[in-house]
Amino acid sequence: MAIREAVKIKMTKREATGKGVCRKLRAKGTVPAVFYGPEYKESVVGSVDAKELSQLTDSPNWETSMIDLELPGGNVEMALLRGVDRHPVTQKILHVDLYQLVKGHKVKVAVPVRVINKESCAGVKMGGVLEHPMREVEIMVLPREIPSEIVIDTIKMPMGSEIFARDLDFPESAELISSPDAVVVMVSRPKSMAEAPAEAEEETTEVEVVGKGKRKEGEE
State mean pLDDT over 137-159.
95
Residue 207 has pLDDT above 80, yes or no: no
- Per-residue pLDDT at 216: 47
Q: Give the pLDDT band (50/70/90) at residue 26.
A: confident
Fold of 7-101: Ribosomal Protein L25; Chain P (2.40.240)
Q: Give the pLDDT band (50/70/90) at residue 24.
A: confident
Report whether 33 contacts 106 (CB < 8 A): no
- Per-residue pLDDT at 195: 59
Q: Give the pLDDT band (50/70/90) at residue 196.
A: low
| Average pLDDT of the residues of the chain | 87
Fold of 108-189: RNA Polymerase Alpha Subunit; Chain A, domain 2 (2.170.120)
Parallel, antiparallel or unpaired: strands 129-131 and 76-86: unpaired
- Per-residue pLDDT at 44: 94
pLDDT, one tens digit per residue, over 30-71 is 999 999 999 998 999 999 999 999 888 888 888 999 999 999
What sign does the dihedral 48-5-178-190 (CA atoms) show?
Answer: positive
How many whole angstroms separate alpha carbon 16 and alpha carbon 5? 33
Residue 143 has pLDDT above 80, yes or no: yes
Phi, psi (deg, nearest 5) at residue 77: -120, 145
State mean pLDDT over 116-144.
96
What ranges do the domains of the chain cover?
A: 7-101, 108-189
User: What percentage of the chain carries pLDDT values higher than 90?
Assistant: 65
Residue 121 has pLDDT above 60, yes or no: yes
